[in-house]
Amino acid sequence: MTRVLTPDICVIGAGSGGLSVAAAAAAFGVEVVLIEKGKMGGDCLNYGCVPSKALIASAKAAHHAAHSMSLGVSVPSVDVDFQAVHDHVHGVIGAIAPHDSVERFEGLGVEVVQEVARFVDHRTVRAGDTDVRARRFVVATGSSPAVPPIPGLDTVPFLTNETVFGLTECPQHLIVVGGGPIGLELAQAYKRLGARVTVVEAQTALAKESPDLAAIVLARLRDEGLEILEETRVAEVSGEVDAIRVAVEDGDGRREIAGTHLLVAAGRKPNLEGLGLEEAGIAHTRAGITVGADLRTSNKKVYAIGDIAGGLQFTHVAGYHAGIVIRAILFRLPARENRAIIPWVTFTDPEIGHVGLTEAEARTEHGHHTVRILDAPFSGNDRAQAERRTEGLVRLIVGKRGRVVGADVVGPSAGEIVNLLSLVVSKGLSVRDLAGFVSPYPSLSEAVRRAAISYYADSAKNPWVRRVVRLLAAFG
């Protein structure tokens, strides 16, 4: 017998965005059905942000111990217990998992259905022996690792972010296909934990970042011993367990790289398969479900959020989307997505982050000669000097009337500094606002204020300003 549920909201996908919608709606006493075919917490908890940052923390500890002489501390030897690293990663997942569990959400009043969900018509989703006919649906099925059509890849064992955290021994030589954030974060972590690492990127590594800032990160990674091959295409893969051969081609011709493990980190694809989008009249492309700025699909009963919505693929975007649809569904407020305020951070060491318009976008939108670029290198920051971490800088992209329209940070704790700059960009604050706030000394974030103050550097040389100062001084 098929049971029929008629909740106010049906959420498909128990990742970050779906869980946020379900929890918020339940808090207001709204009837919610949450459908998830896999693990609660989705990619972020089980295969993405959480395990990768736990692994990076272990790698950073090993690196700092081995390179502490600049601070007057000598560590005789650094031994990495990779099984213990594995246990740390999964211990962190285990510590967070109860917050995302079936039991917690059932305790909140959410009905959780652990089945595959599929639309069977414009207003019905089928999950196992349950039909759900809700007032509104929210599709939050996320994304999965994209596997490129490389000849031979289907014949060899390879890792993705969904399987790499299962390793209990450090690879001898890890070959990483993809020089984006995921590939480089994991590449540096495994290098610091004892692996030899080669990264193969078909185009430019960290391509979405400002080239001069990305170069700072890439130089550091290469200094640590990573081999990063850019403008290099993977032509073919062959081999077996612990004996992988990757044929690559670049401007100098073709050659072969031998390694023990292969990690494919070549981007992500939205989880569209099996959702029955055609039956529901939901328009979509290979990039994801087509949505408006209000995140509504072509079926007005259905919203799509997070990676599946075809935009920036970050956990914090899914959370941001969740807030938009909650305001729209529960309170009928005209909430709309603003992608211009979305920050991102790549958690290499040094970290690199961005928010708002890029320099090129700002010059196009505000006029080439209107935009000013204000840099504050960490070499001029006392906290960075004290910690011997002076690589990188804070960059403010300033438009008309001194408004900060974008920002970049590369260096220590860049992700934390981007937090401040995200607020600045989202609220339309100006360099005057930043120059006027008090930053605790010594702190890395002080570089933000230093960059803002530099906007007024030319004022001290302006002859009219100097005359005004002298005139005012004459009055005593």
Residues 178 and 205: their CA atoms lie apart, in Å, by 8
pLDDT for 238-248, tens place per residue? 999 999 999 99
The average pLDDT across 98-122 equals 97
Report how far apart, in Å, the C-alpha atoms of 127 and of each of 5, 12, 119, 141, 309 are.
11, 10, 9, 14, 21
CB 275 within 8 A of CB 117: yes
pLDDT higher than 80, residue 260: yes
pLDDT of residue 433: 96
The average pLDDT across 397-418 equals 97
pLDDT higher than 90, residue 475: no
Both tokens of 303, joined, read: 């919203």
CB 160 within 8 A of CB 262: no
Residues 10 and 130: their CA atoms lie apart, in Å, by 12
The average pLDDT across 93-111 equals 97
What does the angle CA 102 – CA 105 – CA 106 come to, to the nearest 5 degrees?
Answer: 80
pLDDT for 191-223, tens place per residue? 999 999 999 999 999 999 999 999 999 999 999
pLDDT higher than 90, residue 467: no
Q: Is the pTM of this model over 0.75?
A: yes
Q: What are phi and psi of 332, to 5 degrees?
A: 55, 35
pLDDT for 416-433, tens place per residue? 999 999 999 999 999 999
Torsion over CA: 217, 223, 225, 231 (sign): positive
pLDDT of residue 476: 66
**The one-letter amino acid at 205:** A
pLDDT for 353-390, tens place per residue? 999 999 999 999 988 889 999 999 999 999 999 999 99
Lowest mean pLDDT among 63-77, 276-290, 312-326: 63-77
With H, G, I as helix, E, B as strand and everything else as coil, classify residue 40: coil
